[in-house]
Amino acid sequence: MTKRFITGILISTALFMTTTSCSARKNLEPRVQLETTYGNIVVKLFNETPLHRDNFLKLVDDGFYDGVLFHRVIADFMIQTGDPNSRNAQPGQMLGTGDVGYTLPAEIVYPKFFHKRGALAAARQGDQVNPERRSSGCQFYIVQGRVFSNEELDMLERNMRQRAEANLFQAKSRERQAEITFYRNENNHESLEALRETILTEVRKEMENNTAYRFTEEQRYAYTTIGGTPHLDGEYTVFGEVVEGLDVVEKISRIQTGSRDRPVEDIRIISARRVR
């Protein structure tokens, strides 16, 4: 075997290893450490939610989260932060409305990502003013939640399905609003009732094979063991999860709070930085 051939093999092998190494790094889920008043929390960000991942990393790199408070804390539910107005907030000051001047399109990857304990999700305004479920550009929450029984999950499934049916009925009714208005103006109750039944039939048909409002085995296992907040599933973008520091999340969730669920004692993100 010639020296030139051996050199070629070595170079090709090195190039292959470099390419593989770069590819592996590219597929790694980024991790961010939140150094808080109560200890460190490390979160990983999902590559399946790239808009939220990249936005969060940009804010971290810019130092945006350094010094902000956990301004909303509810035991057995979640801890929320990211309001820039909280950085120098006075005691008792109302918080929760601060933002960065933009929102993000929803990236709801459900049921793969759900609200188990430790889930990292984007805060947002409610459906009435935000039907597209766009996320806040900066505020996020970490799920603490509680453990549920299978019976409770069964009831939640029924409630979520009923809510989905009601929302679908309202959406279809809006599409037929001209007909509804005409029949009402004509006091034509018979036609109104017939139209209502038609819409209900359409709703039932669409919902018949819809499995989006049934918990998967993975969800049921998580919610009946480590816990979470299942009633939020499919409503908010979950874009990461805690991989270290769930005990810190637990401690923060148990602190005393006052008006609008703001902690009486300031709990702060001292710094946020990438660790991978």
3-state SS, residue 136: strand
pLDDT mean values, one per 10 residues, the chain (276 residues): 48 51 67 98 98 98 98 98 97 94 97 97 95 97 98 94 89 93 93 94 88 89 98 96 98 95 97 96
SS3 170: helix
The three-class DSSP label of residue 14 is helix
Strands (DSSP E) along the chain, which ranges?
Answer: 31-36, 39-45, 70-74, 78-81, 103-104, 119-122, 135-136, 140-143, 238-244, 269-274
Residues near 254 by beta carbon (within 8 Å), at least 6 away in sequence: 75
Which string of DSSP letters, residue by residue, matches 66-128? TT-BEEEEETTTEEEE--GGGTTPPTT---S----S-EE-----TTTS--BTTEEEE----TT
Per-residue model confidence (pLDDT) at position 18: 54
pTM of the prediction? 0.83
Q: How far is CA 214 from CA 41, 164, 199, 204, 228, in A?
A: 31, 12, 23, 16, 16
What pLDDT sits at residue 6? 45
The pLDDT, as a whole number, for residue 10 is 46
Q: Calculate the alpha carbon distances from 2 to 7, 9, 126, 270 in Å.
A: 9, 11, 71, 60
Q: Going by C-beta distance under 8 Å and a sequence separation of 6 or more, which residues neighbour residue 266?
A: 37, 69
Dihedral (Cα; 124, 127, 132, 133), 10-degree rounding: 30
- Residue 222 in tokens: 């998580």
pLDDT value at residue 212: 74
**Per-residue model confidence (pLDDT) at position 13:** 52
pLDDT of residue 12: 52
pLDDT attached to residue 17: 55
**How far is residue 8's CA from residue 3's CA, in Å, rounded to a whole number?**
9
Which residues, other chains included, contact 50 with Cβ-Cβ below 8 Å and sequence gap of 6+?
A: 107
